[in-house]
Amino acid sequence: MSDAKEDAPKKKGGKKKWILIGVGALILAGGGVGGGLYATGMIGGSGGAHDEKKKDVPHLVPKSEQKYAGSGEGGEGSGEGASASAEGGEGGADANASSYYTFDKEFTSNLLDSVHFIQVGIAVSTPYDEKVITNLKTHEIAVRSAILMALTETDEEQVFTPAGKQQLQKRLAKAINDTLKEKEGFGGVGNVYFTNFVVQ
């Protein structure tokens, strides 16, 4: 009789042991699945499609990473209408570098309710990386159209005063950014500059 009583606690302890082993196995399996999802970027962390989309968004370029034209480095900063300067970026953000892009062809348009026309050369600056310049080149036809539309809405008073020209620069920057946002989801142009300005 005493042998039967001693066997009962051993069976009970055996069940606890198997339950603990099962729970441990579930925790390990869950950790493995969670780690796999984390590694593929489906949950938290980095990687996956979410980060790929983030890589497509231009990033601000700090002055410490400034590339200067003629420094021997390739890329957008050293050729084909683009150059870099130590000047601050959008809104005078001195901590950021500026990259410039000059449109090869000038823009010619009639002025609003006038017999005069305007011919301007335009360059733009961005505090963001080369993706903004690439987007400008990719969608140059659409951007040129937006610039021409903005120029046709310009009256004589704007083109003959410094304040009017500054307003025109802001309108052109908005037109360019709106077009880039429509095409790429991001504008990035900080300022518009006139490289040539003729009214006839």
Q: What tens digit of pLDDT does each residue of 39-79 get?
A: 665 565 554 444 445 567 888 888 877 765 443 333 444 33
- Same domain for 42 and 108, yes or no, is no
- Same domain for 173 and 106, yes or no, is yes
- Same domain for 77 and 158, yes or no, is yes
188 close to 177: Cβ distance less than 8 angstroms: yes
pTM of the model: 0.62
Domain span at 119: 63-199
Domain count, the chain: 2
- Same domain for 135 and 185, yes or no, is yes
- CA-to-CA separations, 133 to 24, 46, 116, 130, 179, in angstroms, rounded: 55, 27, 32, 5, 13
Select the more confidently predicted residue: 43 or 176: 176
